Structure 1
Amino acid sequence: VTGALEVKRTEKVIGASLEAAPVVHVTAEEAATLKTLSFDDLCITSGIEITTDPAPAEAFRIEDIADVGVVFERADGDKCQRCWKILPDVGTHSHPGVCARCAAALGK
């Protein structure tokens, strides 16, 4: 994921990894493992989709890792003022300008 994002940073498509919500194409076994993690937090992205669908031809790949392909997608929504993730629910909670996770952390 970080390799795919670095390409987009170099191309000036994004400035920060939190602007991304990539789709990661992996095997079923890898998907099961990744879904047990906060993989978006690990990759420092605003979201991430794990799929077992075959990776399209344009997916970013690393030669030594045959079964993994990453397709860049831009994160959708507004930037949370607390965690800086770009999420569609920002601004819809009791604390203006934050996402659901941050609103819960801030309490009522």
Structure 2
Amino acid sequence: MQDIADEVNTSFSLLQNIIYVNQFYVLHLFLSLNSIFLALFISIFLFLFLSFFLFYCRTIAGINSLIFRSLNRLCTTFFKLSTIFFTLFTVFIELLLSY
């Protein structure tokens, strides 16, 4: 009787060890997949952020140069004497914005 009980206990502990190892393997697999998905999410987010940021900067630079060009045309067309003043004024504004 004792031999059967020892054998059942041994089988039971072996089964518990197998379940524990499988749980650990599943947990390890979940964590590794989770980190892979996290790295994938971060890389996609950075790509989208950088592309939108570069598009935004390009748009702002285009609008800025368009404004400066149209103001320059306005000054050269209507106020011929003020082109030097406008050039100095834009250089002054750009210097102020650089600080």
More helix by share: 2
TM-score, normalising length: structure 2: 0.19
TM-score calculated relative to the size of structure 1: 0.18
Whichever structure has more strand as a proportion of its residues is 1
> Relative contact order (alpha carbons < 8 A, sep ≥ 6): 1 or 2 greater?
1
Structure with higher Rg: it is 2
